[in-house]
Amino acid sequence: MSAAAGDAVGEVVGSAVGALSGDAAAQPDEVAAYALRLGDDALVLAQRMGEWIAAAPELEEDVALANIALDLLGQARTLLTYAGTADGRTEDELAYLRDAEGFRNVHLVERPDDGDFAYCVARLLGFSAYQVELYARLASSTDHTLAAISAKAVKEVAYHRDHATQWVLRLGDGTEESRIRMQAGLDAVWPYLAELFETDELVARLGDVAVDPAGLHEPALAYVRGVVHQATLSVPEVAVAPGGGRRGEHTDALAPLLAEMQALPRAMPGVRW
Amino acid sequence: MSSRGWPLWEVFVRARRGLAHTHVGSLHAPDAEMAVRNARDVFTRRSEGVSIWVVPAAAITASSPDEKDAFFDPAGDKVYRHPTFYEVPEGVEHL
């Protein structure tokens, strides 16, 4: 991710990231595992949203989605850099040299858009609503690096949430066609939201270092439901999809995404560009 | 969605407090709120500004190229309109 990552990310790595020291009595490898989850979510969604560059409905939207993807990539870089300090791996080694089963992202961020802008917008609404609540709380983490990363990121994801909100309102309360497509986008995304809020023993053991995602469910969903209602759309009533991303169990969509993202560093180990 | 359906907006950015908003370019957006957001993404992603105005390009009344001679040429030989015909006193700063 080093040189190709673009202008928006270079400044965020380095200053905020210290080495894992196991402060607040948390195990360094467990803090790293937690940072890896958050970083993988951001990295995989950055890659998915990057697919929209030059393919969005308008040039202006190309730029908006690229900005959001770069924000997420910046978050991923700091989080993976921090996670890597536990066992001496770099952000690039973590991003480029793990296979799908090594990734700890939720299924929501790896599912393909298939060129469906409404799906992209619906996913961004759900994911950024989760991230706003997450980072707002994680900014008070007893782990100072996670707190610093979150304090910076919360402003970024607040804008992502606003961007998604604007589009859901316009497409939902727009034409008959846009309304049908926006509802279909929400329906397709909805089964994958629940995984974001699943808690487990790692989070419980980390205590005040981490944020229990279960506690984010109500505020995040309240925001999303509010937007859906304002857009005159319906809150989907669909079955929850099986998760497992936090355990390395992924859908078939992740491997091809990684293959594209990792192709160059794997073909030419150690390459810089 | 096509650009033909989205109106053009002129974008003005204020670089910092105390300066005037300056025209920086134009973009397409479906409405004013989205135009402000698109302007944020297109024109201020390197911290170029602290305030953005957007104006529908259709709302701007411009001088006509056909009237260029009558509009602008008469000012060409009136050097006395430039404030250069007085002595600046010693010690006056910021002039």
Partners of B26 in the beta sheet?
Answer: B10
Helix (H) or strand (E) holding B13, with range, is strand B8-14
Tens-digit pLDDT profile for residues A99-126: 999 999 999 999 999 999 999 999 999 9
Residues of A in contact with B38 (CB under 8 A): 60-61, 63-64
Q: What is d(CA B78, CA B73) in angstroms, rounded to the nearest whole number?
A: 10
Collapsing DSSP to helix, strand or coil, A213 comes out as: helix
Separation of alpha carbons A91 and A190, rounded Å: 31
- Using the Cα atoms of residue A182, residue A72, residue B38 and residue A219 in order, give the sign of their dihedral: positive
> What confidence category does residue B80 fall into, taking pLDDT thresholds of 50, 70 and 90?
confident
Per-residue pLDDT, B39:
96
CB contact (8 A) between residue B1 and residue A166:
no
Please check whether residue B46 touches A, CB under 8 A: yes
Which residues, other chains included, contact A130 with Cβ-Cβ below 8 Å and sequence gap of 6+? A193, A196, A197, A213, A216, A220
Taking only the tens of pLDDT, chain A with its 273 residues reads 444 444 333 444 445 566 776 455 678 899 999 999 999 999 999 999 999 999 998 899 999 999 999 999 999 999 999 999 999 999 999 999 999 999 999 999 999 999 999 999 999 999 999 999 999 999 999 999 999 999 999 999 999 999 999 999 999 999 999 999 999 999 999 999 999 999 999 999 999 999 999 999 999 999 999 999 999 999 999 999 999 999 999 999 999 999 999 999 999 988 887
Q: Say which of B42, B45, B46 has its CB closest to residue A60.
A: B42
- In order of A21, A201, A207, the CA distances from A218 in angstroms are 33, 21, 20
pLDDT digits (tens, 9 = 90+) for A14-23: 455 667 764 5
pTM of the prediction?
0.86
Structural domain boundaries in chain A: 27-267
Question: Cα–Cα distance between A22 and A144 in angstroms, integer?
Answer: 11
What class, spelled out in words, does domain A27-267 have in CATH? Answer: mainly alpha
User: Would the CB atoms of B38 and A63 count as touching at under 8 Å?
Assistant: yes
> Three-state SS across A32-89?
HHHHHHHHHHHHHHHHHHHCCCCCCCCHHHHHHHHHHHHHHHHHHHHHHHHHHCCCCC
Which of chain A's residues have a Cβ under 8 Å away from the Cβ of B45? Answer: 8, 63, 67
Handedness of CA A24, A26, A32, A35 (dihedral sign): negative
Angle formed by the axes of helices B32-43 and A59-84, to 10°?
50
Question: From the CA of B30, how many Å to the nearest CA of chain A?
Answer: 9
What whole-number distance in Å separates Cα of residue B9 and Cα of residue B57? 5
Q: For residue A119, with 0-12 CB atoms within 10 Å meaning exposed, 13-18 middle and 19 or more buried, which class applies?
A: buried
